A and B are shown apart, each in its own frame.
Chain A
């Protein structure tokens, strides 16, 4: 799937880049944001394998949804991550579908 996400062949994300605040994001525009994992929702075993992760910065929160998997190694509560993708508006705030992610130290 990564071929879809890294469509511009851009250089790897580094932490020095300044990211927009989550509250300032507009739906349906390609973007990257940095935040802290504050919630991880897993699906029951018989449901569709889906991982739901809420990330938060000082301004607000957004949700990342990964389908086809139940966990991501290294992605735990409190972890700082960068999420990159196209967010869509949802009743529970902005939602990224299968975004690219970078785990930050």
Chain B
């Protein structure tokens, strides 16, 4: 795949190295020539210039890029790059980094963003996950928030403990993606029983959240 990364900070450089090592054709853009030159991976093409300018983006080859990742440390820049990538180059997938979580609401299709990634948000989710047994932890959102990946660690009093997945009566737009049990990944089958302490990873649409909560966690305790 042809991937263009805007922003050669630690995030951008790391992504360029990783994506290049998995056989992708990567171009890295930054206005700072020294930041760009710090990357020493043979496969990565670099472009020096302001990624908020159409000319720079054209030179970096956005016209036939499959993915653009706007990962500068500046939310305004990331939004402008996303909008230009979508509007001027019709890039199929635009990924943008959210630096300040207060700006996250702007990272949507209006600005050409297909997927936004917010580090503070992820950190919060991870902390919640670490401290919570028996509550629903939202890990990641897809499709502009319509679908989400969530995780529940089953407490002893969960109504789902000792029942088979097929018997749970999960809503139609919900699927159990995986079960983590004693450090192993269990591929969920219809007759897989759930145990106390299982980490159940669920993919669902937002409307199903209350129902999933009722099935896996139980009625909210009064």
A: residues with CB less than 8 A from B are 4, 7, 27-28, 48-50, 67-68, 85-89, 97-98
Chain B positions 51 through 63: 1 when the CB is less than 8 Å from some CB of chain A, otherwise 0: 0001000000001
With the chains together, A7 CA to B86 CA distance in Å?
15
Q: Which 6 pairs from chain A and chain B are nearest by CB? A: A88-B90, A67-B110, A86-B90, A98-B87, A28-B90, A97-B87
In this complex, what residue of B is CB-closest to A68?
Answer: B110
Name the contact of B90 in the complex, choosing from A4, A7, A67, A87 (C-beta under 8 A): A87
Are B89 and A97 in contact, with the CB atoms below 8 A? no
With the chains together, A85 CA to B54 CA distance in Å?
14
Name the contact of A50 in the complex, choosing from B63, B64, B90, B110 (C-beta under 8 A): B110
Chain B's nearest CB lies how many Å from the CB of A103?
20
Are A27 and B90 in contact, with the CB atoms below 8 A? yes
Are A97 and B110 in contact, with the CB atoms below 8 A? no
Are A7 and B54 in contact, with the CB atoms below 8 A? yes
Residues in chain B near residue A87, CB distance under 8 A: 90
Residues in chain B near residue A88, CB distance under 8 A: 86, 90, 92
Are B88 and A67 in contact, with the CB atoms below 8 A? no
Are B64 and A97 in contact, with the CB atoms below 8 A? no
Chain A's nearest CB lies how many Å from the CB of B127?
30
Residues in chain B near residue A89, CB distance under 8 A: 92
Chain B positions 99 through 136: 1 when the CB is less than 8 Å from some CB of chain A, otherwise 0: 00000000011111000000000000000000000000
Interface bracket on B: 10 to 19
Given contacts A48-B108, A97-B90, 6 further A-B contacts (CB under 8 A): A4-B87, A28-B89, A48-B110, A67-B109, A86-B89, A88-B86
Residues in chain B near residue A98, CB distance under 8 A: 87
With the chains together, A28 CA to B62 CA distance in Å?
10
Are B109 and A86 in contact, with the CB atoms below 8 A? no
The answer, yes or no, to whether B95 is at the interface (CB within 8 Å) is: no
Name the contact of B64 in the complex, choosing from A28, A49, A67, A68 (C-beta under 8 A): A28
In this complex, what residue of B is CB-closest to A49?
Answer: B110
With the chains together, A89 CA to B90 CA distance in Å?
9
Residues in chain A near residue B64, CB distance under 8 A: 28
In this complex, what residue of A is CB-closest to B144?
Answer: A48
With the chains together, A33 CA to B109 CA distance in Å?
24
Residues in chain A near residue B111, CB distance under 8 A: 67
Residues in chain B near residue A28, CB distance under 8 A: 63-64, 89-90
A85 with B87, Cβ < 8 A, contacts A4-B54, A28-B63, A28-B64 known: yes
Residues in chain B near residue A7, CB distance under 8 A: 54, 88
Residues in chain B near residue A67, CB distance under 8 A: 109-111
With the chains together, A102 CA to B127 CA distance in Å?
52
In the complex, chain B residues 9-37 whose Cβ is within 8 Å of any chain A Cβ: none
Chain B's nearest CB lies how many Å from the CB of A65?
9
In this complex, what residue of B is CB-closest to A88?
Answer: B90
Residues in chain B near residue A49, CB distance under 8 A: 110
